[in-house]
Chains A and B, each alone.
Chain A
């Protein structure tokens, strides 16, 4: 989150925060929708019994794969120093800055 905000011009913080929240919510929503579908299937077919546990266990593969994606994103993210003031470079200079910082 900080890396994303650090790379944004202040005038775009509102839209940027909205987009960041959208990605976070979509991730949570997709994950929750799948979990809800699993729960609903278990309750409908097997009732609130032990059988639900087996179905839920299989669904743990989903967060495992997502965790691998987070790790890869962190590994390949350019290293950019955090700004110490609210002043920031323009969008154009930020776009140029990021690839150059990746070389360090």
Chain B
């Protein structure tokens, strides 16, 4: 398959923003001591990670529908814009609460970027061709996730943790230029479905409630506390209402038939579990007090051996 200039520009842009959003998921792990030295507030430490993921997770389900409604190009450009502005705000944050808030906004942009990347790749290539090109994209995604902690440690050690975020801005501007060029002839308007707002709200509430249980349970609040049990109840009720809402929605944000076959269900289970493996290892390994420059070098073998020996 011969790629046009537009295809190459689109592929480069998709890979670039996917790498940026992936690296920003893990990049702050080794810079935390520097961030804490500048912006005191150890009790909010976990939220520098978690706010990003809450933002990313809360938006991904609806972004696909928005891309159908407004076109891939528009939604993709807005997503990169949100990510870029949030990165700039993270870089100039004056307090830890500000940084947490801006990380949440950055996560919103990153989640939208990752979903748009999948859609654009799907539009460009049929499945058999897509496998080849998706591997390239996935290698970039995985490499960026793995290099993130080492890169973050290097920048924080030698310059400032603020450059971890500020460096995103020029890269995002270059990406926007590539997207404007590459996706200009590729956007499809198609049918214009109505947004399933009940589905959007309920799925967001359910996901955020689950995340807060994971974040606060056993730490901020006891597992049997009113707060945690209330969040579990909220997640259960919103999940139940979501199922009911999606059954009657004209154009549901999460159609039931997306889970209707064994291939789809098992693919989603594998996606969920694979992320747990990947991000669990990436975030835990650098926190074992290795020198920053050795994190990438010693990422796998010693720690996998430790894991197996336990």
Which of A37, A76, A85, A98 counts the most chain B CB atoms within 10 A? A37
Establish whether residues A95 and B53, one from each chain, have CB atoms under 8 Å apart when the complex forms.
no
Q: A14-B65, A15-B253 in contact; A86/B271 too (CB < 8 A)? A: no
Binary per-residue interface labels of chain B (252-278) against chain A in the complex, 1 for a CB within 8 Å, 0 otherwise: 111101101111101111111111111
Q: A7-B263, A95-B260 in contact; A26/B272 too (CB < 8 A)? A: yes
A residues less than 8 Å from B267 (CB atoms):
1, 3-4, 7, 20, 73, 77
Q: Which of B42, B130, B218, B268 contacts A44 (CB 8 A)?
A: B42
Q: A20-B118, A40-B219 in contact; A73/B269 too (CB < 8 A)? A: yes
B residues less than 8 Å from A52 (CB atoms):
287-289
Give Cα A81–Cα B106 distance, bound, in whole angstroms.
38
Binary per-residue interface labels of chain B (164-179) against chain A in the complex, 1 for a CB within 8 Å, 0 otherwise: 0000000000000000
Establish whether residues B65 and A15, one from each chain, have CB atoms under 8 Å apart when the complex forms.
yes
User: How many pairs, one residue from A and one from B, have CB atoms within 8 Å of each other in the complex?
Assistant: 285
Q: A15-B255, A17-B115, A21-B114 in contact; A70/B214 too (CB < 8 A)? A: no
B residues less than 8 Å from A21 (CB atoms):
60-61, 63-64, 111, 114-115, 118
Give Cα A11–Cα B65 distance, bound, in whole angstroms.
11
A residues less than 8 Å from B276 (CB atoms):
27-28, 30-31, 62-63, 66
Name the interface residues of A18-41: CB closer than 8 Å to any CB of B: 18-41
B residues less than 8 Å from A56 (CB atoms):
284, 287-288
Q: Which of B67, B118, B260 contacts A91 (CB 8 A)?
A: B260
B interface residues, how many (CB within 8 angstroms): 84
A residues less than 8 Å from B215 (CB atoms):
33, 36-37
Q: How far is the CB of B137 from chain A (nearest CB, A)?
A: 10
Give Cα A17–Cα B215 distance, bound, in whole angstroms.
26
Establish whether residues B258 and A30, one from each chain, have CB atoms under 8 Å apart when the complex forms.
no
Establish whether residues A73 and B134, one from each chain, have CB atoms under 8 Å apart when the complex forms.
no
B residues less than 8 Å from A29 (CB atoms):
50, 53-54, 56-57, 207, 211, 214
Q: A32-B49, A33-B50 in contact; A73/B62 too (CB < 8 A)? A: no
Establish whether residues A60 and B273, one from each chain, have CB atoms under 8 Å apart when the complex forms.
no
Q: Which of B130, B261, B268 contacts A19 (CB 8 A)?
A: B268
Q: How far is the CB of B233 from chain A (nearest CB, A)?
A: 19
Complex A-B: 27 CB contacts under 8 Å: A1-B118, A2-B130, A6-B127, A12-B257, A13-B123, A15-B252, A15-B253, A18-B60, A18-B62, A18-B63, A25-B111, A27-B271, A28-B56, A32-B283, A39-B287, A40-B43, A43-B45, A52-B289, A60-B284, A60-B307, A62-B276, A64-B307, A66-B280, A76-B266, A77-B263, A77-B266, A82-B127
Binding site for A on B (CB under 8 A): 25, 32-33, 42-43, 45-47, 49-50, 53-54, 56-57, 60-65, 67-68, 111, 114-115, 118-119, 122-123, 126-131, 134, 138, 190-191, 203, 207, 210-211, 214-215, 217-219, 252-255, 257-258, 260-264, 266-281, 283-284, 287-289, 303, 306-307, 310
Binding site for B on A (CB under 8 A): 1-8, 10-41, 43-44, 48, 50, 52-53, 56-57, 59-64, 66-67, 69-70, 73-74, 76-78, 80, 82-86, 91, 94-95, 98-99, 102
The 5 closest A-B pairs by CB, nearest first: A18-B64, A27-B275, A63-B280, A36-B46, A14-B64
